[in-house]
Amino acid sequence: MAAVTNPLHSPTLGDFIKAIANIVMQIGGIVVVVFIIWSGFLFVTARGNEEQLKKARTTFFWTVIGGVILLGAYVIAVAIVAFVNSLS
């Protein structure tokens, strides 16, 4: 009979959560950088047009908010895993 191997390659649930949080942080970080560059492009191409400047400011604002939420979620996930690991 063949042995069943762990497909997640994580010995514990905490390690699995950390791995998922790291992957989400890497992908989300790239998306945040791309949108910051995009908002900079919108600022440059606005050339004084108030409506386009408003769109650029809004894009930058929500990109920063999204980055802060992403970072906060990562910190909370790592803190929960560290707390659970300290209990055992």
Structural domain contains residue 47 = yes
For the entire predicted model, the pTM comes to 0.82
Retrieve residue 52's tokens.
């386009």
Q: For each successive 10 residues of the chain (88 residues), what is the average pLDDT?
A: 77 87 95 97 94 97 97 94 88
Structural domain contains residue 7 = no
Q: What is the pLDDT of residues 69-88, one digit of tens each?
A: 999 999 999 999 999 889 87
Report the pLDDT value the prediction gives residue 42, as an integer from 0 to 100: 96
Structural domain contains residue 64 = yes
φ, ψ for residue 3, nearest 5 deg: -80, 145
Report the domain count for the chain.
Answer: 1
Structural domain contains residue 36 = yes
Report the pLDDT value the prediction gives residue 3, as an integer from 0 to 100: 81
Structural domain contains residue 23 = yes
Structural domain contains residue 8 = no
Residues spanned by the domain of 66: 13-87
